[in-house]
Amino acid sequence: MNSLSPDLSFRWKSNATRTIVTTVKNEGPFLLEWLCYHRLIGFNRFVIYSNDCTDGTHQMLQLLDQAGIVIHFDNSDLIAGQPDDPQRRAYARAMALPEVTGSDWIAVLDGDEFFHVNTGDGTLDALFAALPDRTDAVAAQWRIFGNGGVIPFRDELQIRQFTMASPTDIPFTHSQFAIKTIFRPLPVQHLGVHRPVFKNFYGLPAHPLLIVNGSGEDVTRDLLRQRWTTSPKMAGYDLCHVNHYMIRASEVFLMKRWRGTANSADADRINFDYYDQHNLNVVEETGITAWADRVAQARAELVGLIPALGALHAEAVGRFRRQIDVLSAQLLAEAPDQHARLFDPAVLQAETERRQAELAARRARQASIAATPP
């Protein structure tokens, strides 16, 4: 490696400040679990943009901001010169903040994404200790979680409820091998949904850059300038991955379909094609459940510290429940076949068995091919 000028080498000298940038919309029933989990594993700065919230999420974030636990911005209004899409507008705003650009590490995560460390004690400290020297970015793979046959919305931890996910070796959907990146900010031009865009001169011999996958293997050449997905051969999970609870319970998916997300102005993006693509109840993945008791305790302590949070959380849960009841009745009346796809346990079980049989067949074909002499 070429020698580096002193003004650049400092970017690897500290792991102290670990920032998450996120956008949220009506995440009131789920916000505190997500926040407490990521604080426990070692993130210590949260820059959160909310937009068009009607369930108390905005007020919850204001309380957390006043307590110094998060940095919150209302991102609902269009801003001259900024993107119309609320997620990309938030990212542009974030890159103007010294609290973001001055971090040692940044992760861009959504409210249904949980960064999971698979090495050591499961903390960011363990991850950073296991990375190659002078790592600039880690491309962590999605593990897409289905509803696991869970139909009702319950005010319980997601990391306990949902334990069925996409496999690591067989692709069922292109997005299954999407990445979410944790990275050093100095080489970054601007933030992206799945990976940052690096400044043009980084990656050249005078300004080297190292991107590794979730097993710590060098994937710089493949990911330096493009790609937001990998492949089964390029992916790695030994050190970290991201649990993506895209569906949650059937009733929660119904709500997601109705309300849209913070991530897109396209209100029709969440439909039953989305459900079919991402309800991947294929293999068991329970690693994150080791954190469940600690997350529950941390959430209780946070509510004890800020009692109004508990009231807002309860109000959000009640509002969520009432809207689900309305939407479920509407769906049953208007599209009983779609209602059965979400709420008939036999239909859910049959779909899970079909996917698992497909996995077994495809693995068998791969093994047969591998065993065939050239």
Q: Backbone phi, then psi, for 193, in 5-degree steps?
A: -60, -45
* Other Cβ atoms within 10 Å of 369 Cβ, number: 8
Structure tokens at 5: 């000028």
Q: Are 31 and 59 in contact (CB under 8 A)?
A: no
- Residue 171 has a pLDDT of 92
Q: How far is CA 70 from CA 107, 198, 226, 275, 303, in A?
A: 15, 26, 31, 32, 15
- Residue 267 has a pLDDT of 43
**Overall size of the chain counted in residues:** 374
End-to-end CA distance of the chain: 39
- Residue 123 has a pLDDT of 98
| Tens-binned pLDDT, residue by residue, of the chain (374 aa) | 444 444 567 789 999 999 999 999 999 999 999 999 999 999 999 999 999 999 999 999 999 999 999 999 999 888 888 888 899 999 999 999 999 999 999 999 999 999 999 999 999 999 999 999 999 999 999 999 999 999 999 999 999 999 999 999 999 998 999 999 999 999 999 999 999 999 999 999 889 999 999 999 999 999 999 899 999 999 999 999 999 999 999 999 999 888 654 443 444 445 889 999 999 999 999 999 999 999 999 999 999 999 999 999 999 999 999 999 999 999 999 999 999 999 999 999 999 999 999 999 999 999 999 888 87
- Residue 263 has a pLDDT of 43
Q: Where are the domains of the chain?
A: 6-371
- Residue 7 has a pLDDT of 56
Q: Are 166 and 144 in contact (CB under 8 A)?
A: yes
- Residue 72 has a pLDDT of 98
- Residue 264 has a pLDDT of 39
- Residue 271 has a pLDDT of 82
Structure tokens at 334: 């208007």
Distance of CA 222 to the CA centre of its chain: 22
- Residue 269 has a pLDDT of 46
- Residue 138 has a pLDDT of 98
Burial class (CB in 10 A: 0-12, 13-18, 19+), 327: middle
Q: Tokens 């954190």 correspond to what residue? A: 291
Partners of 21 in the β-ladder = 47, 108
